[in-house]
Amino acid sequence: MGTVRVMRDLVVTENITLDGVIDAGEGWFAPSGSEDAADTAEMVRVQREHMAGADAVLLGRVTFEEFRGYWPKQTDDTTGVAEYLDNTQKYVVSRTLTEPGWQHTTVLRGPLGDEVAALKAAPGRAIVATGSVRLVQALVGTGLVDEYRLFVYPVVLGRGRRLFEDATGVPRLGLVETRPFGSGVVLHRYRVTPAGDTAG
């Protein structure tokens, strides 16, 4: 019998409002570490669990440049995010970026589906896509996303770009974890249900 190749998971991780907005431009979200101390410790523990299970980050150009301009400057970061992003492999989907200017960064210029499928087929742990509104919206209908981790904030904006913008191409999802935090933020983890799986 032939060896079965195990594909890496592609995980979309987003901070999201109650009405589905993932665009942080309205100022409703701040990086972890700015909340109350008790809640920060709880959320940092979860973040560290997630980081331990992933060895690659997939970003759109805008989010990559925002991260590059922010995280390397956080020399007193206690969450571990700055160190993780500095040392992990980063993949940026862009046809215009020429010099990433951040170590361990590869620019992906080919068709999105082909590039991401190749990453999933390579050895390694999970790949996390975060922020990057246009990128994650494009990934939704590709069949390449395995899991959604949504940190739902008790905020309603009524405007802004949403994760499931046009509500088409959304796969069937199964809830595998719900974890509330003291601040009112709730983590919902959903796994994509394989086609033909009718399990509830």
CATH of the domain at 127: 3.40.430.10
Query: How far apart (Å, rounded) are the C-alpha atoms in residues 139 and 113?
Result: 8
- The predicted structure's pLDDT at residue 41: 84
- Residue 56 is predicted with a pLDDT of 98
d(CA 144, CA 12): 10
Q: Residue 134 and residue 46: Cα distance in Å, rounded?
A: 26
> Is the separation of the CB atoms in 136 and 12 below 8 Å?
yes
Between the alpha carbon of residue 14 and those of residues 20, 73, 75, the distances in Å are: 10, 22, 24
Residue 166 lies in a domain: yes
The answer to the question of residue 27 being in a domain is no
Q: Three-state DSSP class for 51?
A: helix
CA nearest 138: which of 113, 161, 121, 110? 113
**Is 199 contained in some domain?**
no
DSSP state of 176: E
Which parts of 71-142 fold into alpha helices (H)? Answer: 81-87, 112-121, 133-140
161 inside domain: yes
C-alpha pair distances (Å), 192 with each of 5, 166, 169: 19, 18, 12
- For 45-104, list the strands marked E by DSSP: 54-60, 89-93
Residue 138 domain-assigned? yes
Full domain range(s) for residue 148: 10-22+33-192
The 186-192 sheet, strands edge to edge? 105-108, 89-93, 54-60, 126-130, 10-17, 147-153, 186-192, 173-180
List the one residue out of 185, 181, 161 whose CA is nearest residue 63. Answer: 161
Give domain status of residue 1, yes or no.
no
What are the backbone dihedrals phi and psi of residue 35, each rounded to the nearest 5 degrees, phi first?
-85, 180
Q: What is the pTM of this model?
A: 0.89
Q: What is the per-residue pLDDT for 33?
A: 44
Has residue 159 been placed in a domain? Answer: yes
* Residue spans of the chain under pLDDT 50: 33-35, 196, 199-200
User: What is the b/e burial string over 119-153, where b = at least 16 CB atoms within 10 angstroms of the residue's CB?
Assistant: bbeeeeebbbbbbbbebbbbbbeeebbbbbbbbbb
Does residue 5 sit within a domain?
no
Total structural domains within the chain: 1
